[in-house]
Amino acid sequence: MTVTISQIAAQTRVSPRAVSYALNGQPGVSEATRQRIQQTAREMGYRPNAAARSMRSAKTGHIGVLVRNDNSDRLTHLMTFETILGINQGLEDAGYVLSLVRIGDVQKGLSSGSRVFTEQVLDGIIVLCEMPDQLDRKVQRLIPNVIWLESQSWGDQYCLRRDEAEAGRLCAQHMLALGYRSLVYINHPGNASEADRSAYSAIARLQGVREVADGAGVPVAEVPFVYDKPSGFDQMAKLFSQITPEVAVVVGQAYHARWLSHAASAAGLNPPHDFGLCCCDDGYDVSMMWPGLSRVSFDRYGLGVAAADMMCQRLDRPDDDCPSQTVAGQWVPGNTAWGPNHAALSARLTGPDSRP
């Protein structure tokens, strides 16, 4: 049976208004009375009525997180789960509930009656990852409060990204410091290909790599490929035929690094002996399954918490400035890039001539 505020009031011998103040954290009752009411409510099994609370506050208490897992592409961007967990923690601490929204729901919202957009189901939405431009514009029209998290959209306020250009610079700096004399950047077009352009993250990473390499007079070759199709192995054949221990390969994502490592192994090559390999990002599963990958590591969970805080500020203090932010990563040396001199020495020490 549902316990009402009136029943709690009768049990504690105070007015229903005093019970409401005590349970909703409002002034108007003493601290001793507040604690007595809250204790009685717990003992009676009281559960707040979310619908009634929404009517009083004009808020639903729900924040959407837009992800790309639509019906035709259910399992992409698995690393975003870490960020979603961080968002959920931040929203939960602020009293909000997270609701996942698929990219297909946005497309459906204009043609059929998706409740996410035809009714006031959400107080705001966090757009997570790169979306086609037209979908970003649709979301902005349908939902008044939006936070752009690692999205194609970028403005002076309410946007949050990893610093992809700095990740590219860190990779290039450390590869050159190890003595590599040539860099190859492996480029996947990314999901923004639906918008007839490469994803912002791929562009920023390459810019960071080129900035460092150009300053040092080191050449950078950009090699585009599609790692999730059989033709990707054919695309790599030419690269592997020309690669030397003096070359460091920089890849954008950990998915790319795994694919490239498998493809190289099939061709009889192995980093760091035959070339250097580093990656501009990672995830929790990478740190567990491939801790030796030389890479830039980002706190994706912390990124989600920061996005939730940004959303709460937008809702609770809409007149305050909320400048956009980029979050820096940390370099993890790993063991997939030793430098050409170290690799050559290792090959001599472990080669046939070194055996007694």
Does residue 159 carry a pLDDT above 60? yes
pLDDT more than 90, % of the chain: 39
Q: Band the pLDDT of 232: cuts 50, 70, 90.
A: low
Instruction: Check pLDDT > 90 for residue 177.
Output: yes
Query: Looking at residue 48, what is its pLDDT?
Result: 67
pLDDT of 172 higher than 70: yes
What is the rounded average pLDDT of the residues 305-320? 93
| pLDDT value of position 108 | 57
Max mean pLDDT among 9-13, 21-25, 197-201, 324-328 falls in 324-328
The pair of structure tokens assigned to 49 is: 């009525």
At 139, the pLDDT band (50, 70, 90 cuts) reads: confident
Angle at 284 between CA 151 and CA 243, to 5 degrees: 80
Listed range (52-66, 185-199, 286-300) with the worst mean pLDDT: 185-199
Tell me the whole-structure pTM to 2 decimals.
0.77
Weakest mean pLDDT among 60-64, 267-271, 291-295, 333-337: 60-64
Average pLDDT, integer, range 248-276: 89
Percent of the chain with pLDDT over 70: 79
Three-class secondary structure of residue 125 per DSSP: strand
- Confidence label for 54 from pLDDT (cuts 50, 70 and 90): very low
Per-residue CA distances from 350 to 273, 292, 347 (Å): 11, 20, 5
Residue 224's pLDDT band (cuts 50, 70, 90): confident
Residue 329: count of CB within 10 angstroms of its CB: 19
Pairing of strands 146-149, 97-102: unpaired
Residue 52 above 60 pLDDT? no
Q: What is the pLDDT of residue 323?
A: 96
Residue 120: pLDDT band (50, 70, 90) is: low
The residue-averaged pLDDT of 219-233 equals 74
φ and ψ at residue 331, rounded to 5 degrees: -80, 130
Q: What's the pLDDT score for residue 251? A: 94
Alpha-helical regions (H) of the chain: 5-12, 16-23, 31-44, 50-57, 80-93, 103-111, 115-118, 133-142, 164-177, 200-216, 231-242, 254-266, 284-289, 300-316, 340-350
Residue 344's pLDDT is 55
pLDDT band at 22 (very low <50, low <70, confident <90, very high): confident
pLDDT classification of 196: cutoffs 50, 70, 90:
low
Q: For the chain, percent helix, then strand, then coil, each to nearest 5?
A: 50, 15, 35
pLDDT of residue 356: 37
- Residues 6+ away with beta carbon under 8 Å from 32: none
Q: What is the mean pLDDT of the chain?
A: 82
Per-residue pLDDT for 222 more than 80? yes
Binning pLDDT at 50, 70 and 90, where does residue 55 land?
very low
The tens digit of pLDDT for each residue in 73-112 reads: 565 667 788 999 999 999 988 888 898 887 766 665 544 4
